[in-house]
Amino acid sequence: MDTPARRPVPVLFLLGALCALGPLALDLYLPAAAALALEFGAERPVVAWSVVSYLLGMVFGQLLYGPFSDRYGRKPPLQVGLLIYTVAALGCMLVDRADGFIALRGLQGLGACAGMVIARAVVRDLSSGAAAARLFSQLMLVVSAAPLLAPSLGAFLLQYGGWRALFGVMAGFGWLCLLAVRCAMTESLPPERRLPASWRLAFRNYGLLMRDEQFLGYTICNGLVQAGMYAYIAVSAPLFIEEYGLSPAQYGVLFAVNSLGMIVAAQVNVQLIKHYALSNIVSNTLVFLLALVLLGMLTLSDGTRLPLPVLLGGLFCFLSCIGLIAPNAAALALAAHGARAGTASALMGTLLFAIGAGCGIVVSLSDAGADAALREAIVIVTIAAAALDCWMRWPGVTPPHA
């Protein structure tokens, strides 16, 4: 049963900013790769290891915040996470050793993931079913703005303030989020709905979630589709700049247009869920993606490379479809877990990041070339997601869908 979810616009923007905290801290400083290598010594892969450290903090930190937010409410662990994020960003701005920088980036990831976990849990506290999907779609409007703005903002700050200015901005943003949470955010989990503090209970809840076919199925399905996005992010720069010969400025415009497609699709989803079941939107979108992928496979059976306009159109369709799948899959996965929304959100985030980052790493290390590696990744994840969705819709596998 759906529960209503009309929230003030400032609260929605705050939740969106909390979700965007993690991706923004990753996208914003990537333009400074060369400057960081020069600062800490070009012989050390500082940027690569700092990304790994940050992602590890993001993945495993979520598993801590979820149970704590179910026990102590949403605001206390969120404020702790934002404080860790802000202090770590200040440390990155001031540090003068590569080892310290890498460690602080891991700590920053540990703080950033609190926003993602708890924002999803707050949505589930306030709503369920189609109402939750509507909120998730509205949050994507803010979250998807991060890749739109981050590269340009990062390049501007790098040019006029140096790489340390990037982390100063991150620290300032974290502090503003912390202030907004303290002053403007209402606790969404009342004391009577909180769970006892126990690691045994936390592990038990994680076990229950892993055995829930609807939660696990829609989370993995969501993760597989988003893995295609991670693969695109991992190889898009060498693919379009080196293989297709686009300028960095043209590449930036391309990246922004694809992000805009996700935003528009997520807002279209707000209207679709008024008329269609969430599971039907997910399934029909996956059928469209599967048809697109099969058409591409038939077209490229001789192994030739796609013309640039065709590739751009295909990628735009694929990435836009994420705006139709991600909010609905998240709402379906969390539908039955209002009593442990923080723990469920934490496991969901960990699985999404693990699947997505794993795919991005594999594609980055592939010897097949950026074009072939990206196409193969999208084909595999689309077929796998469609097959999983088909299995979940088999009679008796999962409960009736929203």
What CATH number is associated with residue 326? 1.20.1250.20
- According to DSSP H, which parts of 144-247 are helical? 145-161, 163-184, 199-210, 213-237
Is there a domain that residue 397 lies in?
no
Is there a domain that residue 111 lies in?
yes
pLDDT, one tens digit per residue, over 117-138 is 999 999 999 888 888 888 898 8
Q: What is the pLDDT of residue 42?
A: 53
- Pick out the chain residues at pLDDT < 70: 1-9, 42-44, 147-148, 298-303, 395-402
Show the domain range for 99. 10-392
Is there a domain that residue 399 lies in?
no
Is there a domain that residue 212 lies in?
yes
SS3 368: coil
Q: In the numeric block, which tokens belong to residue 100?
A: 């310290």
Q: What is the pLDDT of residue 171?
A: 96
Q: Measured between alpha carbons, how far is 222 from 350 in angstroms, rounded to an integer? A: 12
Q: What is the pLDDT of residue 44?
A: 52
Q: How many domains, the chain?
A: 1
Is there a domain that residue 398 lies in?
no
pLDDT, one tens digit per residue, over 332-386 is 999 989 889 999 999 999 999 889 888 888 888 787 778 888 888 999 999 999 9
Which residues on adjacent β-strands are paired with residue 3?
128
Q: Measured between alpha carbons, how far is 121 from 222 in angstroms, rounded to an integer? A: 17
Q: What is the pLDDT of residue 299?
A: 67
Is there a domain that residue 402 lies in?
no
Q: What is the pLDDT of residue 1?
A: 47
